[in-house]
């Protein structure tokens, strides 16, 4: 199994960034600590950032020790991002290059769909410098277009870049790098241009890359919050960029997402609740709640579930499972799939003709006789559950 490090460019100079750290990134770090020991998340800060309010995640913070950026870049070319972002990125690569197989570099304004990212990396035979948003064979022309070359600029002439093999770069919002590539970058540290934007500088260092269509998704705030939520809930992307979100929009989003995950303070543990967007009959909740409380004999063998709960087949699309014993997120039950939740809970096995619900306790099957037939597959033969 490949070991993965997610490196997150972090800062506290905006309230939005602090919000992201205290909410989604702290939660992701705590989740990986408990459930995915082969994945670690690290927040990358500059040397002078006060990180005292983040003590809960202190072990997952990497702080660049370099205090004098003039060693990397003349002060006249320094900005709020140059050379700080690249300096702390390179420092993190140097620190971790021998401990991980794959690196994913991103920023605070991102969401990671961890199961999707993990599956993508584990199943992909070769990980290389790659991402969804790539300026393919356009690095130098991009520098020219944005007037970054010429007298008084950090790059006086394109001739300065002749020593670099790369002419493409992956957006710094999210790119993958293998451990070998990270080591190669560190070995050539003296060649790195710290006086230009970080993702362009990294692109100069690599002669090859890969474009990953659909790996990342950009979600802007130029739409109602509920639409943004629907997009994020249903996307197959591993990485979601929250582009230029205002603080209040981000807070509203997190409240809704948190409500999705927690189910509200008043919900009982292990309660299964139908997605309210489907407007299904309220008795559906009672059927599933009753079944999940270890009383599956409520149904006799062969009972048709859809007849029992009285809803149209085409409406049975999303179910949301709440409770600490069932911790699988965003599973898609495809044709011929068989999925089991074995945390002393209910196992849902979906096949072509039926969905079987099985009670499992201490690894032993308690009741495997309850079959719900004629569960309709919708949306290209798949039945989608949202399970947290």
pLDDT tens digits, residue range 42-99?
999 999 999 999 999 999 999 999 999 999 999 999 999 999 999 999 999 999 999 9
pLDDT tens digits, residue range 330-382?
223 333 333 333 222 233 333 333 334 444 444 444 444 333 322 222 222 23
pLDDT tens digits, residue range 98-146?
999 999 999 999 999 999 999 999 999 999 999 999 999 999 999 999 9
pLDDT tens digits, residue range 196-218?
999 999 999 999 999 999 999 99
Q: Is 219 exposed, middle or buried (0-12, 13-18, 19+ CB in 10 A)?
A: buried
CA angle 73, 76, 80 (to 5 degrees): 75
* Nearest residue to 72 via CA among 201, 161, 194, 196: 194
Overall pTM > 0.75? no
Backbone Cα Rg of the chain: 24
Q: What pLDDT, on the 0 to 100 scale, is given for residue 163?
A: 96
Question: H/E/C letters for each residue in 91-129?
Answer: HHHHHHCCCCCEEEEEECCEEECHHHHHHHHHHCCCCCC
Any bridge partners for residue 39, and if so which?
4
Residue 85 CA: distances (Å) to CA of 80, 118, 124, 292? 9, 25, 28, 49
Q: What pLDDT, on the 0 to 100 scale, is given for residue 161?
A: 97
Per-residue pLDDT at 265 exceeds 60 = no
pLDDT tens digits, residue range 1-19?
999 999 999 999 999 999 9
Domains, in order of start, for the chain: 4-261 (3.90.550), 272-387 (no CATH)
Q: Is 300 exposed, middle or buried (0-12, 13-18, 19+ CB in 10 A)?
A: exposed
Per-residue pLDDT at 282 exceeds 50 = no
Give the β-pairing of 272-274 and 319-321. antiparallel
Q: What is the mean pLDDT of residues 297-322?
A: 32
User: Residue 272 — very low, low, confident or very high, per pLDDT cuts 50/70/90?
Assistant: very low
Q: What pLDDT, on the 0 to 100 scale, is given for residue 261?
A: 59
Q: What is the mean pLDDT of residues 157-176?
A: 97
Q: State the average pLDDT for the chain.
A: 75
């Amino acid at each position: 199994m490949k070991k993965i490090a997610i490196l997150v460019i972090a800062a506290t100079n905006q309230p939005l960034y602090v919000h992201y750290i205290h909410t989604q990134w702290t939660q992701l770090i705590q989740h990986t600590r408990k459930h995915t020991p082969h994945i670690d998340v690290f927040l990358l800060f500059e040397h002078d950032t006060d990180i005292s309010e983040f003590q809960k995640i202190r072990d997952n913070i990497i702080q660049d020790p370099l205090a004098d950026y003039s060693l990397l870049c003349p002060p006249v070319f320094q900005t709020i991002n140059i050379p700080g972002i690249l300096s702390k990125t390179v420092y993190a690569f140097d620190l971790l290059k021998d401990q991980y197989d794959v690196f994913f570099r991103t920023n605070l304004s991102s969401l990671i769909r961890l199961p999707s990212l993990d599956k993508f990396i584990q199943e992909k035979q070769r990980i290389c410098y790659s991402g969804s948003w790539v300026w393919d064979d356009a690095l130098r022309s991009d520098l020219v277009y944005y007037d970054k070359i010429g007298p008084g600029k950090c790059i006086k002439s394109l001739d300065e870049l002749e020593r670099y093999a790369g002419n493409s770069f992956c957006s710094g919002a999210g790119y993958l790098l293998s451990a070998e590539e990270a080591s190669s970058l560190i070995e050539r540290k003296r060649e790195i241009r710290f006086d230009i934007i970080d993702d362009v500088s990294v692109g100069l260092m690599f002669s090859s890359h890969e474009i990953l269509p659909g790996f990342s998704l950009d979600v802007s705030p130029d739409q109602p919050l509920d639409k943004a939520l629907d997009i994020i809930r249903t996307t197959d992307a591993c990485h979601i960029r929250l582009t230029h979100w205002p603080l209040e929009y981000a807070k509203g989003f997190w409240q809704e997402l948190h409500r999705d995950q927690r189910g509200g303070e008043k919900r009982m543990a292990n309660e299964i609740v139908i997605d309210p967007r489907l407007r299904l009959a309220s008795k559906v909740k009672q059927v599933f709640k009753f079944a999940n409380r270890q009383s599956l004999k409520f149904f006799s063998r062969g009972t048709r579930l859809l007849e029992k709960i009285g809803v149209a087949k085409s409406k049975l699309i999303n179910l949301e499972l709440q409770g600490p014993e069932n911790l699988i997120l965003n599973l898609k039950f495809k044709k011929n799939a068989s999925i089991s939740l074995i945390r002393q809970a209910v196992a849902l096995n979906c096949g072509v003709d039926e969905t079987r619900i099985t009670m499992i306790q201490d690894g032993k099957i308690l009741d495997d006789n309850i079959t719900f037939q004629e569960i309709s597959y919708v949306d290209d033969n798949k039945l989608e559950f949202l399970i947290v």
